[in-house]
């Protein structure tokens, strides 16, 4: 029997305006929701993509979605003309205010653009069972999109430590790739 939920459909290309007027639309409920609901959407979507396309391709799609989100987030929620320290402070404050996580820059090489940063209390994985794997592929893309939007340089970002691998923060390493 065909799964009607897996049929292909057409969607409009994403734009920031696609997010709508959340305050107007969710008047009584407000803008916030439990992390449980976000993770339910994220991990069921990843499960469906994994079954349909395999782990590597599913992760690539999640990373690409994160990249698109990070790029649009940076363009619409951050001051891309600020100096690096002001940009980083604004990014930290915005991610904290949105309850995405607590961002810390561990290292930045201004010559190469290489970065190492951590996200504590990460929206995607903090509190997950330990599976000895890094699971924040969406965040890899999200961070790469933000960095590219700010610097104009293409970044490859990979998670090197994760709550799901037994760490208590997610650590990401990024490098300019073009």
Q: What is the CATH number of the domain that holds 101?
A: 3.30.1380.20
Spatial neighbors of 98 by CB under 8 A, at least 6 apart, are none
Per-residue pLDDT at 62: 96
Structure tokens at 23: 């305050």
φ, ψ (nearest 5 deg) of residue 28: -80, -30
The answer to whether residue 9 sits within a structural domain is no
Q: The domain containing residue 97 runs over which residues?
A: 33-176
Asked if residue 146 belongs to a domain, the reply is yes
User: Does the pLDDT at position 8 exceed 70?
Assistant: no
At residue 71, φ and ψ (nearest 5 deg) are: -65, -50
pLDDT tens-digit readout, 65-79? 999 999 999 999 999
Name the residue with tokens 């996200």: 119
Is the pLDDT at 51 greater than 70? The verdict is yes
Q: What total number of domains does the chain contain? A: 1
| pLDDT surpassing 70 at residue 54 | yes
């Amino acid at each position: 029997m065909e799964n009607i939920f897996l049929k292909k459909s057409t969607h409009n290309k994403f734009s920031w305006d696609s997010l709508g007027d959340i305050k107007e639309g969710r008047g009584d409920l407000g803008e916030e929701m439990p992390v449980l609901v976000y993770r339910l959407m994220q991990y069921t979507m990843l499960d469906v993509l994994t079954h349909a396309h395999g782990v590597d391709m599913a992760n690539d799609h999640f990373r690409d979605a994160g990249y698109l989100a990070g790029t649009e987030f940076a363009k619409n929620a951050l001051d891309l003309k600020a100096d690096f320290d002001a940009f980083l402070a604004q990014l930290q404050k915005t991610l904290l205010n949105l309850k995405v996580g607590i961002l810390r820059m561990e290292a930045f090489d201004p010559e190469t653009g290489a970065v190492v940063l951590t996200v504590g209390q990460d929206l995607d994985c903090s509190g997950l069972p330990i599976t000895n794997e890094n699971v924040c592929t969406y965040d890899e893309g999200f961070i790469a999109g933000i960095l590219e939007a700010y610097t104009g340089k293409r970044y490859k970002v990979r998670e090197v430590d994760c709550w799901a691998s037994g760490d208590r923060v997610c650590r990401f390493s990024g490098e300019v790739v073009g």
